[in-house]
Structure 1
Amino acid sequence: MTGVNEEGGAPRSWRVPPVHIAVKAGAAVVVATLAAVSSGDRQFLLLAGVAAFGLAALALRDVLAPVRVAADAEGVTVVRGYAGRRRLAWPAVAAIRVDERRRLLLHTRLLEIETADDLFLFSFFDLGADVHDVAADLERLRRRAASRPDG
C-alpha cells in the first residue's frame, strides 16, 4: 500500500502481500512434489496435479498483477479478469461499499466497486489491507474529485 497525503488526493494503491504470493507458490511446489512421489496412485496424481496447477496459476496471477486497486484524483484502476486492468473515472463509479457476511464460523468482508455494468470484488487477501479502510480511502478520493472546481 502506498502512502497518502491527507490534505491532497495522493495516489493510493493496494496490492497482494508478497507473503501471500510466496505461500501460494510454495504450496504449489509442495503439492507438485507430492504428486511426483505418488505417481503409482493415478487418482491422487490427478488430484494433486490439478491442485498444483491451480495454486501455480494463482501465484502467477499475483506476480503479473500484484496491484489490485489503484486510485488517484481522476479515478480508480482495478484488476479485471486474470491480470487485465480497467480504468474507471470517478463519475463512472456508482458505489463503493463493503459486503460483510457471516455463515457458520466464517466471516467474509469484500470491497465492492460498482459501475453501471460491472461489480468488482476484492478481499483482504487481494488488497493487503482492511477492506473498510480501503473503502474509506476510496470514498475520500472520490469526494475530493467531485468537489474540485474543474471536476
Structure 2
Amino acid sequence: MRRWRVPASLPAAKIAGAILLMSIGLLFADGDPVRLALAALVATALAGWAVRDFVAPVRLAVDAAGLTVVHGFARRRHLPWATVEAISVDRRPRLGLTTETLEIDAGATLHLLGRYDLGDSPGDVARVLHSARTAAGA
C-alpha cells in the first residue's frame, strides 16, 4: 500500500497563521467588536482547516484493490478499480506559475487533489496510480 499525505509543516503553518491573525486582530481592533469578531472568525476557520490536516492527514492511498480517498471533512471512501473511470492531471498556468491537480473520476464523484494534499507532484502520483492499476489488472 502506498499513501500520500499532507506535509507535516502545513498544519503547523495554518495554526501559526491563525494565532498571528488573531493577534493582529486584537492589536488593531481598537475596541471595535466587529473587527475583533471578523478576525476571530477567520482565525477559527484557518484553525479548523488545520484540524482537518491533523485528523485526516492521509489524503490518498492505493493498493491492489483500488484507491482510498478522503471524502468530506475527514471520512474515507474506498474506490475499487472497477469504479475508477479516469486518472488525469490538470495543468493550468496562473499568475506566471503552473498549477497541477490530480483528478480521479469515479463516475458519480470527482476527487481533486493538489500538491499540498499529496505532499508530492500530482504528475508523479498519477504515474504511480496508473502503474498500480495496471499491476492490479484493472
The whole-number CA distance in structure 2 between the counterparts of 1:43 and 1:106 is 36
User: Which AA in structure 2 matches 1:35?
Assistant: G
Q: CA deviation at 1:47?
A: 2.6
User: Which AA in structure 2 matches 1:75?
Assistant: G
> Match for residue 30 of structure 1?
20
User: Which AA in structure 2 matches 1:95?
Assistant: A
Q: CA deviation at 1:106?
A: 4.0
> Match for residue 113 of structure 1?
104
User: Which AA in structure 2 matches 1:23?
Assistant: A
User: Which AA in structure 1 matches 2:58?
Assistant: V
User: Which AA in structure 1 matches 2:27?
Assistant: V
1:65 aligns with 2:56: yes
Identity %, equivalent residues: 44
CA distances 1:24-44 after superposition (whole Å, capped 9, x unpaired): 011111112222334413343
1:133 aligns with 2:128: no
> Match for residue 15 of structure 1?
5
Equivalences for residues 86-101 of structure 1 within 5 A: 86-101=77-92
User: Which AA in structure 2 matches 1:94?
Assistant: E
> Match for residue 134 of structure 2?
143
> Match for residue 123 of structure 1?
114
Q: How many residues matched?
A: 137
The whole-number CA distance in structure 2 between the counterparts of 1:97 and 1:57 is 29
User: Which AA in structure 2 matches 1:18?
Assistant: A
Coordinate RMSD, CA, aligned: 1.4
Unpaired runs of 5+ in structure 2? none
CA distances 1:36-92 after superposition (whole Å, capped 9, x unpaired): 334413343233112201110110000000000001111110000111110001111
The whole-number CA distance in structure 1 between the counterparts of 2:122 and 2:32 is 43
The whole-number CA distance in structure 2 between the counterparts of 1:62 and 1:74 is 25
Unpaired runs of 5+ in structure 1? 1-10
The whole-number CA distance in structure 1 between the counterparts of 2:24 and 2:12 is 18
TM-score calculated relative to the size of structure 1:
0.85
> Match for residue 76 of structure 1?
67
